[in-house]
Structure 1
Amino acid sequence: MPRSYAKSLFAAAACLAATSAAASCPNYADYSRTYHEPASEGAFRLSSMRPEPACRTFNSTGVEDAIQRLKGQIWDPDLFRLFENTFPNTLDTAIKWRGVAANNTEEELCFVITGDINAMWVRDSANQIAPYKAVMKSASDDIASVFRGVINLQARYLVVSPYCNAFHPPVEANMPAGGSGGVYSVTPPYDRKFVFTCNFELDDFGGFLQLSHDYYTATGDVSFFGKFQWIYAIQSIMAASEAMRQPSYGPGGEWLKPAYTFQSQTMSAFGTLGNNGMGNPINDTGLIRSPFRPSDDSATFDLLIPGNMMMARYLNSTADIMERLPNAPKGLAQQMRDMADEVREAIKDYGIVTGPHGKRMYAYEVDGFGGRILMDDANIPSLLSAPFLGFLEKDDEIYKNTREFVLSRKNPWYCSGPVINTVGSPHIRPGAAWPMAAIMAIMTTDNDGEIIRSLKELVQSTDGLGLIHESVDSFSASRWTRQWFTWANGLFGQMILDLEQRKPFLLQESFQPIFIDKE
């Protein structure tokens, strides 16, 4: 039997089996809102949130082995339950379809929903599976096929609609589309049967590049990148990025029509772009424009510094892949390196400002005319995440100044209270802290006390569900948004694996509440 035909039969059989199992499985949007025994043995009595094995959307031996290994290393029962629930959450619940391309049975595809929304975000899907790089050792590992499938499907999306951010299932999946993301007027136009939403967010490009870097670094499988649409996706990213570096005015002061515009019917000021869909003007800086933030909110000033940090880092590292491909267009790897260098220099020139504490720090957004916004948002890439992105080291002096600002009341989106103290986001409201930011704070510090404090707050902030919420009221753990937020869940698992390597002794701490007998 030909190998390609055998793969097609296997994919069809797997799809049929998954469909049959899914018919008798609970809807995880409902399942994740209710409590399930057995509870953890700690004071918080955290719910068991993993579906039965037959109801999981993907099973990985490497992930299960990691969970069993950590069971002997995490001494606190509530912390372990949180890890056990969250680390596999994307694989358990969000791998909605795996198969092959209609025109090439060697081209693996994988459709990953963001959780409670039946669409695939380029940025989210990259972050959702990124934590599993820790268990991927070679291209033959079970999880490696998921990475390849996501990279291939993201490449298809980026080739066809590089300015868009969220997409419907591929036609090969024979799945219903997840509805419409809203009513928009966008340039360039796009196919609504293909695209769910079309917010241009620079971190979509960064996410694709980072995921490519992660797969290559873990497996050394360079040949994969030369086989399908990866090179075309890089060309599409480069062309769109160059177009989004164009300033608002030409050398003679003439207005230059922007490459991308966006208008929508919305009740939120962050749901559309001002100036008839063009956003605020930008100067000629070398930075790449990002009209929307990683939160999907519109920017105040379009030159998002964390997004440009991510591009500078991963354009450079994926150029290493490009230069090793025999079929790569001549000079493309060098173009990637040149853009990375130019963006990095532009961040130095325009992104470093004097903060309210009188110290040099990174701004969140700038316009190149002197306009700047001093804040940070929990969504990654963030200023807090700069070392996590690999843009700089955590002992960098300007980063330390930035971090001091971000994790303080000087940052307008820092939330403090008895439940959790960390960065929030305009995407929700003031006072709604995002556990994702607390996780990132842990991953960007070596301070044991700070790590222990943040871990305690994370354990006590799940409202008993044992999942990482999108946001939690800093004064009440019972007020939260989105429990099925697989990106944040996976990031928590990634953080635990990071501590296993950096500070394993902290996993032996107790994170139980202290009860004081008043009698």
Structure 2
Amino acid sequence: MDKLKAAFSQAFTTSFNPKSPTGLSSDSIDSALQSHMVSKLRPSRPPLDKRKFSSLAVENVIERVKRVFEEKGRSELADLFELCYPNTLDTTVVHTEVEIEGGNRQGDDTFVITGDIPAMWLRDSTNQVNPYLPLAKTQAPIRHMLLGLIARQTRCLNTDIYANAFKKSRHQWGEWDKDLVHPKLSSLAWEGKYELDSLCAFLKLSNRYYEVTRDTSFADGEWTTAVDAVLGVMRVQQRGTLEELEEPAYSFVRVGNVPIDTLMLDGRGPPAKRCGLIKSPFRPSDDASTYPFLVPANAMAVVELQKLSALLTSLEADSATPSSSQTRSYKSLAEEANSLASEVKEAIYKHALVEHPRFGKVFAYEVDGFGNALFMDDANIPSLLSLPYLGFLPATDPDYLRTRTFILSDSNPYYFSGSAGKGVGGPHVGLGWIWPMGIVVQALTTATEDLGSDPEVQACVEILVKSTAGTGFMHESFFMDDVQKFTRPWFAWANSLFAELLLKLAGSDGTVDEPGSINDAPTDAHLAAAHTAVGAATTCSTAGEEDAKIVGEDVPEAGVDAPSV
């Protein structure tokens, strides 16, 4: 109790907020509680029978990667991988089998919450399951979980094409049900912020699943309808503001006192001039854009549209007749996707590669088509820093390298450096708050063949280890001078992204059929016996969300001169 009182005392003296009714910000209260709890509890995963979704293949990857780090003398990375890599499956996934087509066969449905918010974001859910996609090639349970997520995203988009986040059911309470959105949202939508990258995330999951498995069973009439709708929205959102002055295709108004939570000009957003780019009124942080054309999201659209075109072309070649519910042929959709990708890519280099007074030609974060450009970057993906991670260009590209130098400098208004670390943040949480996600992306996009020996990557890893503040997990953000001050202790996307970095550092492709796999790469079929031993019913547990919250204990702080990873 004395430690808790001391933590609150420090919060009062260092984080006084005169605008708060209590004089104390909620963030400082949260930090005080988190600091106290971190020192008392040990980081761990939920018990086996409380995990939302279990996979022996995932456990196999964990053991193999842990062994690699332990042999390198990096036990702290082994421990963090054990917690972060399975966090999405352990705590956020609900997978069920559902009857479809009048009960003639079984289908899959997968709902993935973000963590501490009981809703599914299209962007987050795709990225949360990304580390498990390599397993889908050989592991049927993982494959069905992913098919369920594609199916769920498909139904969501066919219901509310402009929404970014969704409820599990229409009967669920929604925090933003009073927002004024056009087109009007259904009761299934959690939030109606149109973000271009949300549509791209749907395409990314379908594209990557196909690349790994070559399975096209997801590409039914509903999926094709969703793809057609996505392409339609992208085309419509290329319009200039004056082209739809009387009847905008989309508008959003939220009543409140947070300017970046709503759109200007009666919900239309900032003025845009047609230039070939696609508008995105909101960023991947869910903040309103300053200028309407978000460049990283357009770059992501180029990549995913090109892949979609290839997927649709394969479907055209393999399918004698399209589904009876299709309104357009695979060939027509493929041509539209390819044409749109080419148009957007050309527009990026024409309108978004802009002269900076200090760094020369760099990619702007946002432009408006009138010649105005915003020089900044945000830690959320897609970002300018993540362009190689997205697949838009190589990390050695000269335009990217100049842009990267700008991003990781004090010329970027959202790059912060303090005694606890340095990295990119954003306006969503505020000034001085660094996002681990941005540091992971910095490491993943370093122009080096050997990540483990690169000094920049090593420095990023040490900051990331410290940023956990002993909880064993990544957070949304931490304050640049104190890792004990952090936001969102349960943020599954950040854990999955960190796991991607650790997989690369361990030299793993994330599959169970690599040379030297433990137990000769046992399959998920063995998991039922393990569950029976502990009284679990199936490979999927639907325990309550409250059972999945974990807070941890301090781990030794890594020094700046730690050995190579």
- Map 1:444-459; keep pairs closer than 5 Å: 444-446=445-447, 448-459=454-465
The one-letter code sitting in structure 1 at the alignment partner of 2:87 is: N
1:512 aligns with 2:513: no
> Which residue does 1:392 correspond to in 2?
393
Change (3 A) 1:178 1:419: farther
1:156-167 alignment, distance < 5 Å:
156-167=155-166
- Which residue of structure 1 lines up, in the alignment, with residue 242 of structure 2? 249
Deviation at 1:256, TM superposition (A): 5.7
User: For the residues of structure 1 that align with 2:400 and 2:200, how far apart are their CA atoms?
Assistant: 20
Partner AA of 1:114 in structure 2:
T
Q: Is 1:314–2:304 an aligned residue pair?
A: yes
Give the drift of 1:163.
Answer: 0.5
Aligned to 2:108: 108
Secondary structure of 2:467 counterpart: coil
Instruction: Provide the residue aligned with 1:19 in structure 2.
Output: none
Call closer, same or farther: CA 1:291–1:101 in 2, change over 3 Å.
farther
CA gap 1:514/1:309 in 2 versus in 1, 3 angstroms: closer
Letter in 1 for 2:82: E
Give the CA deviation at 1:431. 0.4
Determine the structure 1 residue equivalent to 2:494. Answer: 488
Aligned equivalents of 2:140 and 2:418: distance in 1?
44
Q: CA deviation at 1:123?
A: 0.9
Contact 1:49/1:465 (<8 A) preserved: no
CA contact (8 A) 2:194 2:281 kept: yes
In structure 2, distance between residues paired with 1:393 and 1:101 = 44
Shift of 1:170: 4.0
Residue 474 of structure 1: how far off its partner (Å): 0.9
**Residues of 2 paired with 1:57 and 1:422: CA distance?**
33
The 10-residue stretch of structure 1 (291-300 or 48-57) with the greater mean CA deviation from structure 2:
48-57
Is 1:101–1:109's contact at 8 Å kept on the other side of the alignment?
no
Q: Secondary structure at the match of 1:241?
A: helix
1:34/1:228 Cα in 2 relative to 1: closer, same or farther (>3 Å)?
A: farther
Aligned 1:342-381 pairs, distance under 5 A: 342-381=343-382
Distance 1:340 1:219 in 2: 24
Q: Which residue number corresponds to residue 534 of structure 2?
A: none
Query: What are the within-5 Å matches in structure 2 for residues 410-489 of structure 1?
Result: 410-446=411-447, 448-489=454-495
Higher relative contact order (CA 8 A, sep 6+): 2
- Matched residue of 2:507: which SS? helix
CA distance in 1, matches of 2:382, 2:368: 18
> Which consecutive aligned stretches of 4+ in structure 1 deviate over 6 angstroms post-superposition?
30-33
Q: Give the Cα separation in 2 of the matches to 1:31 and 1:513.
A: 23
1:225 counterpart = 2:218: yes
Match of 1:90 among 88, 91, 101: 88
Q: Tell me the amino acid that sits aligned with residue 91 of structure 1.
A: L
Instruction: Give yes or no for contact 2:241–2:271 (8 Å, CA) kept in 1.
Output: yes
Please give the secondary structure, in 1, of the residue aligned with 2:502.
helix
Q: Any idea what the Cα deviations from partners look like across 1:446-499, whole Å, max 9, x if unmatched?
A: 450000001001111111101100000010011110010000001000111122
Q: Distance in 1 between matches of 2:310 and 2:241?
A: 33
Structure 1 residues 324 and 264: CA distance shift in structure 2, 3 A: same
CA RMSD of aligned residues (A): 2.3
Counterpart residue identity of residue 168, structure 2: P
1:63 aligns to 2:58 (yes or no): yes
What are the within-5 Å matches in structure 2 for residues 71-150 of structure 1? Answer: 71-74=66-69, 75-100=73-98, 103=101, 105-138=105-138, 140-150=139-149
Q: How far does residue 425 in structure 1 lie from its aligned partner after superposition?
A: 1.0
Letter in 2 for 1:184: D
Identity of aligned residues (%): 38
Aligned residue among 179, 186, 192 for 1:184: 179
One-letter code of the match for 2:422? N
Letter in 1 for 2:386: S
Query: What SS class does the counterpart of residue 354 from structure 2 fall into?
Result: strand
Q: In 2, are the aligned partners of 1:378 and 1:423 still within 8 Å (CA)?
A: yes
Structure 2 unaligned regions, length at least 5: 1-32, 323-328, 449-453, 510-555
Is 2:418 the partner of 1:406?
no
Give the equivalent residue in structure 2 for 1:291. Answer: 281
Change (3 A) 1:358 1:463: closer
Q: Which secondary structure does the structure 2 equivalent of 1:225 belong to?
A: coil
Q: Tell me if the contact between 2:147 and 2:218 (Cα under 8 Å) persists in the aligned partners.
A: no
Q: TM-score, normalised by structure 2?
A: 0.78
Q: CA deviation at 1:281?
A: 1.0
Question: Which runs of 5 or more residues in structure 1 are unaligned?
Answer: 1-29, 40-46, 504-509
Deviation at residue 225 of structure 1 after TM alignment: 3.3
Measure how far apart 1:365 and its partner are: 0.4
Write out per-residue CA displacement over residues 357-409 of structure 1, whole angstroms, 9 at most, x where no aligned residue.
Answer: 24111000000101111100000000000000001001010000010011111
Per mean C-alpha deviation after superposition, the further-off stretch among 445-454 and 386-395 is 445-454
Aligned length: 463
Partner of 1:11: none
Q: Which secondary structure state, in structure 1, belongs to the residue aligned with residue 253 of structure 2?
A: strand
Per-residue CA distance 1:82-114 (angstroms, 9 max, x = gap): 111111110000013423255464331101111
Shift of 1:329: 4.1
* Contact 2:95–2:108, Cα closer than 8 Å, also in 1: no
Listed as ranges, the matches of 1:249-288 within 5 Å are: 249-250=242-243, 255=245, 257-288=247-278
**What is aligned with 2:200?**
206
The 1:356/1:210 distance shift into structure 2, 3 A limit, reads: same
Counterpart amino acid of residue 214 in structure 1 = R
The AA in structure 2 aligned to 1:236 is A
SS in 1 for 2:107: strand
Partner of 2:4: none
SS at match of 2:241: coil
- 2:230 corresponds to which of 233, 237, 242: 237
